[in-house]
Amino acid sequence: MFSNLKEQPADKILALMQLFKDDPRPTKIDLGVGVYKNAEGVTPVMRAVKAAEKQLWEQETTKSYVALAGDPDFADAMIGLVLGDAVARDTVSAAATPGGTGACRQAFEMVKMANPDVRVFVSNPTWPNHLSILKYLGIPTVEYRYFDAESRGVDFEGMLADLADVKPGDVVLLHGCCHNPTGANLNLTQWQAVVDVLLKTGGVPMIDIAYQGFGDGLEEDAAATRLVASSVPECLIAASCSKNFGVYRERTGILMAVAQDKGLKGLTQGTLNYLNRQNYSFPPDHGARLVTMILNDPALRKEWADELEAVRLSMLGLRQQLADELQRLSGSDRFGFLSQHRGMFSRLGTTPDMVERLRAEHGIYMVGDSRLNIAGLNAQTVPILAKAIVDTGI
């Protein structure tokens, strides 16, 4: 049987990790993997997470299963964090998932159940795993223009023109904040225009929000998701706790389905439960329990929010330092977009050949589409990267 299997393509980011690991150069810099690292190059356990884990260790009495949809307290806490008071709680169904990837997978499964002929409109570019999952499920995709390689900003006119082709029952995949891989984001006025297109075409938005708190702040980063959820008849929201709580390996995520028709809640919640049962039965709970404890305890929540804000400001500082250093070395302001982007990533907008030269000649590792992880830098490595970019002729 096994001999009939076909070789699967290696994940490009994981392959890049191995290349970096095997590189003996002491000056090498890893800007490929999408995890936050502090100035010492460590992905730390956040203080509030440590404190919550200590409490949980002392208080936990069982490791028995939680419900199919996870702990309801986790759902309530995450709905509050992501949606605030934008929609009524009884319009939201939710199920815990193994990370944001699990939430995306369940969302795509759900829309295929609801509409076997669904098309999913995806930004060009988007997170590659979106496309991998959709391809595996046999769901056709339609690209809409998003990143302008000239300005390194959003091609908003192109985006709206492409979304005009959405048909009723199609799904439009949107990044709630901190677009991955580009770092270029819509403003709220532009988001309202997207809402208007969705209302006109009958498209259903699916929002992937994986970096809340990494862009302009916890509330600011949720504003677009709240606007969409409160404006359209139905939407899906896939949220991850990996980045903003630093619980990467705990696999903590949630899928929310918002329907303004409250009569649909039983159906949507039942479908979420069913999908969990078919794919993994009960979702992981350790990370979800920690997140719930933090969000529901005022002292822990403040400690977490303060540390997250420090992380956000650190990334903004690195962005500005890199933009300034590139301006100094190149004598040009063509890299000013780096300080305007938000989140962990920016896309340089250069060619795969140039990216390969950065790796081969300078030990700078980034994904072939020129996405670089700002959080992989520190004050000492920014000048090294800037010089490598200029010396390579980017």
Catalytic residue positions? 127, 208, 210, 243
Spatial separation of the C-alpha atoms in residues 197 and 391, rounded to whole Å: 44
Spatial separation of the C-alpha atoms in residues 157 and 85, rounded to whole Å: 31
Question: Pairing relation of β-strands 234-240 and 252-259?
Answer: antiparallel
b/e map 56-86, b = 16+ CB within 10 Å: eeeeeeeeeebebbbbebbbbbbbebbbbeb
Q: Would you give the distance in Å from CA 53 to the centre of its chain?
A: 25
Residue 352 burial by Cβ neighbours in a 10 Å radius (0-12, 13-18, 19+): exposed
Q: Which residues sit opposite 347 in a β-bridge?
A: 371
Site of tokens 């504003």: 223
Spatial separation of the C-alpha atoms in residues 76 and 330, rounded to whole Å: 50
Residue 110 burial by Cβ neighbours in a 10 Å radius (0-12, 13-18, 19+): buried
Hey, how many other C-beta atoms are within 10 angstroms of the C-beta on 310?
Answer: 11
Hey, how many other C-beta atoms are within 10 angstroms of the C-beta on 154?
Answer: 20
Structure tokens at 117: 């002929």
Nearest-10 Cα torsion for 111, 117, 121, 127:
60
Instruction: Tell me the residue ranges of DSSP E strands in 321-370.
Output: 345-347, 364-365
Half-sphere exposure of 212 (CA within 13 A, CB side): 29
